[in-house]
Amino acid sequence: VDASLKDLKTCSRRLQTVSAIVGDELKILERLYYKGKNQHRSALFWKRVVEIRRYGRRLSEASLWETLELFRCSFFGANSFQKFMKGSWNHYPNLPYV
């Protein structure tokens, strides 16, 4: 479990970075959509822009990084937020939670 939690921590950090980058890209896409929706509404490529915008919103609403951090914290006790999850894990999360 310790090795898996270490790998999960690495993945969590990478996911946080990727999520920040995707958030910036979505802001740019939102601005492009706002500026071009009247002009390009009938264009074929605009349907793909709308589709990517919708997928981006779903991805940001899913909040994968927060979910992963909550899952990682579930392996540590109630005081895990104060100690920043340093040390060994001391708690098994409930099976329905996992």
- Tell me: the pLDDT tens digits for 2-60? 788 888 888 988 999 999 999 999 999 999 999 998 999 889 999 999 999 999 999 99
- Tell me: the pLDDT tens digits for 66-79? 888 888 877 776 55
What six digits make up the tokens of 65? 């990084």
Q: Is the pLDDT of residue 84 over 70?
A: no
For the chain, the straight-line distance linking the first and the last C-alpha, in angstroms and rounded, comes to 14
Concatenating the DSSP letter of every residue in 37-80 gives TTTSTTSHHHHHHHHHHHHHHHHHHH-HHHHHHHHHHTTS-TTH
- Tell me: the pLDDT tens digits for 44-64? 999 999 999 999 999 999 988
Residues 6+ apart with CB under 8 A from 88: 2
CB 19 within 8 A of CB 68: no
